[in-house]
Structure 1
Amino acid sequence: MSLYPLKFIPQFAEVLWGGIKLNKVLNKDIDTCKSIGESWEISGVKGKVSLISNGKFKGISLDTLIGVYKHEIAGDKVYERYGNEFPLLIKFIDANDALSIQVHPDDALAKERHNSFGKTEMWYVLEAEKGAELISGFNKEVTRDEYIQKLESKDIESILTKHSVKSGDAFFIPAGRVHAIGKGILLAEIQQTSNVTYRLYDFDRKDANGNLRELHTEQAVDAINYTYYKDLKVDYNVKPNEASEVASCQYFTTNILELSESYIKTINVKDSFVIYMCLEGEIEIVYYILEKESLKKGECILIPASLNMVELIPNENSILLEVYI
């Protein structure tokens, strides 16, 4: 059977900091009476593996399909590195309230403690309310002891960098960097396949049962990179109708596409699958010359590595993120 561009059933997470923007802005089929904070668009996380929603493989899980088609979906180099485990987790996040201040372990620590990949990620801001901020990194050189003292005195925010944000801002968050998404931010997140998070501070909030949420104080101490870095907002330039790089690392590359005309993507040159996240507008994806699939705002699609080429035709001015390894 020939492969084709794959779409998936989103998986929603109801959380105390979530809101209704995934429905109102990104057109997700969500009960607006619930506080939905995350939409897992494409996932290989055990227990939350995505199911295909289109075509002849509808209802089949992503890992099952990779187990059959292996290199054809992932690409030779990607499959040799990751096997049947899909290496990226693609999300939309609606922070109606601030998320906890947190950190993720790197590959070595996550493997040792959780038999998991580490978690390096990036954010692309879709919308931000007036005055919205997020946290990324320390605002000075910090020692381990100073960090512990600030945490114990509930003054950790005083040593963290707060960034004012607007639509189009991007941040790269390597494993080990302390971070938090602030109130009033809707964003796209690209990350390694991992669900390991160490929560450092949660503003003494209580869950629906009146309990303080679990913190991971001791685990986090060894996961944190205490180095001070300047200018942590990603600086990138957009060229219309071209792929413009936003962030790149050993785990993923993310480009932005602002399309007003046709764009042709050669897939197998990268020896990797390609994911498109539609942030604005609507496009038509043409493959095998005559076959087509549509992609609307708020939707994501995976182009298997075996498709040599696809053409993206915008029905209106459109913005997409393009992700591959």
Structure 2
Amino acid sequence: MGKERSGAIPFLLKPAGKDYLWGGQRLNDDFSKKINMDPLAETWECSTHPDGLSTVSGGEFDGKTLKDVISMHPEFLGQHYEALKEIPILIKFIDARSDLSVQVHPSDEYAFEHENGQRGKTEMWYVLDASAGARLVYGLRHDCTKEEFLSYINEGKLERHLQYVPIKKNDVFYIESGTIHAIGAGALVAEIQESSNLTYRIYDYNRVDKNGKLRELHIDKALEVSNLKGLQEPRQKLRVLRYGPGVARELLSRCKYFEVNRMLVNTERRQDVFYESDELSFKVLLCFDGCGTVCYEDEDERRHYIDIYKGDCLFVPANSRRLKLNGRFDFLDVRC
């Protein structure tokens, strides 16, 4: 690979698991998470959020939380985020065996004022798989007032006013804060979001938790933050795969919080595929199919390899050493 500049070293992350009642077991079965939860609804792959901290797997920081590593090395975040001393985004896998609750997330401004300075939550979904007939909720079918919306909830008629959108593998959805939404049964999703766990639950199909209690709803707050305008059904935007030697890349989503690209690596013909970092921001590589290796050189030109498998999450610090990718695998390239 030639003489490399000095720089930080990438490392794998181990997720925190969530056993929400609507989850299944695909994250264990398909992604070998080996988390002893049933159901296993979500894995928080890259997170410094206190409700679910990811930890480092292997290397110098093995077993430490990502939050502790960033506290010791805020420079890993890059010039744009070093002062934060935390990751401003959160990356998840989600397995919806059943429908998620109909919910809404607040904006940054509302959360800061009403939720003790927390972030709001805008998010993006990339559909990894979807069963026949799978769908999601995206906003309302028509405009309504707060009074009308509350009456739909109280009279048990909300579902007929929601907009349902069919989904399929490889779809992308951008969910801005304030948008009423829900992931439907049969969806396997990668989610990239602001680092927030603020969810205002509007409707939950009268389900009970493992203790036999109805789950809490947050109607008052939801009424304050929800967009009650009828929304157009989201259409899949034209996406362009740009091909280079051994790799193809396409932009999935870009907003003020994150940028997400899909990268398809195939070095069967031995092309060199290099991945470059910069000093401005960290990056996260989330492998959702295939396997391969990530190679870097130390100051003495000795090569080091990190094996990457389906379901793995690799944190690439700002100003990381130059990486060489080998194998046949697909991943989301997430940056701020």
Match of 2:20 in 1: 15
Aligned partner of 1:225 among 201, 215, 227: 227
Q: What RMSD over aligned residues (CA atoms) do the two structures have, in Å?
A: 1.8
Structure 2 counterpart of 1:56: 60
> How far off its partner does 1:224 sit?
0.8
Q: Which residue matches 1:89?
A: 90
Q: Which deviates the most, 94-103 or 224-233?
A: 224-233
Over the matched positions of the two proteins, sequence identity in percent amounts to 34
8 Å Cα contact 2:16-2:53 kept in structure 1? no
Give the structure 2 partner of residue 76 of structure 1: 79
> 2: distance between equivalents of 1:102 and 1:272?
31
SS at match of 2:240: coil
CA distance in 2, matches of 1:75, 1:242: 26
- Find the aligned partners of 1:45 and 1:122 in 2 and give their Cα distance: 18
Q: How many residues align?
A: 318
Give the TM-score of the pair, scaled to structure 2.
0.90
Q: Kindly provide the CA deviation profile for residues 49-81 of structure 1, in whole angstroms up to 9, marking residues without a partner as x.
A: 22211101112222222222212x11101224x
SS of residue paired to 2:82: helix
Alignment of 1:133-148 (within 5 A): 133-148=135-150
Instruction: Render the CA deviation track for 1:69-110: whole Å, top value 9, x for unaligned.
Output: 212x11101224xx1121111111110100100000011111
| CA deviation profile, 1:155-199 (whole Å, cap 9, x unmatched) | 222222111111111111111111101011111111111111000
2:278 matched residue in structure 1 = 268
Q: CA contact under 8 A between 1:170 and 1:233: conserved in structure 2?
A: no
Q: Which residue of 1 aligns with 2:191?
A: 189
Q: Secondary structure of 1:55's partner? A: coil
How far 1:308 sits from its partner (Å)?
Answer: 5.0
SS of 2:147's equivalent in the other structure is: helix
How many Å apart are 1:233 and its aligned residue?
Answer: 4.2
Code of the residue aligned with 1:312 in structure 2: it is: L
Aligned pair 1:253/2:259, yes or no?
yes
CA distance in 2 between partners of 1:227 and 1:286 (Å): 50
**1:208-241 deviations in Å (ceiling 9; x for gaps):** 1221110000011111122333242442333342
Q: TM-score, normalised by structure 1?
A: 0.92
1:213 aligned to which of 212, 215, 218: 215
Matching residue of 2:319: 306
Match of 2:292 in 1: 283
Q: Aligned pair in 2 of structure 1 residues 139, 111: CA closer, same or farther (>3 Å)?
A: same
Q: State the distance in 1 between where 2:77 and 2:235 align.
A: 30
CA deviation profile, 1:232-281 (whole Å, cap 9, x unmatched): 24423333423311011110000111222343222116x11111111110
Equivalent in 304, 320, 324 of residue 331 of structure 2: 320
**Which letter does structure 1 place at the counterpart of 2:330?**
I
Instruction: Measure the CA separation in 2 of the matches of 1:126 and 1:47.
Output: 25
Q: Go from structure 1 to structure 2 and tell me whether the alpha carbon gap of 1:219 and 1:242 turns closer, same or farther (over 3 Å shift).
A: same
Q: Distance in 2 between matches of 1:287 and 1:18?
A: 37
Unaligned runs of 5+ in 1: none
User: Once the two structures are superposed, what CA deviation does each residue of 1:14-47 show, in whole Å capped at 9, x if it has no partner?
Assistant: 1211111111111211347x11101111111124
8 Å CA contact 2:8–2:321 kept in 1: the answer is no
AA of the residue aligned to 1:169? D
- Asked if 1:29 corresponds to 2:47, the answer is no
- Aligned residue in 1 for 2:106: 105
In structure 1, what is the equivalent of residue 242 of structure 2?
239
The alpha carbon displacement at 1:294 in A equals: 1.7
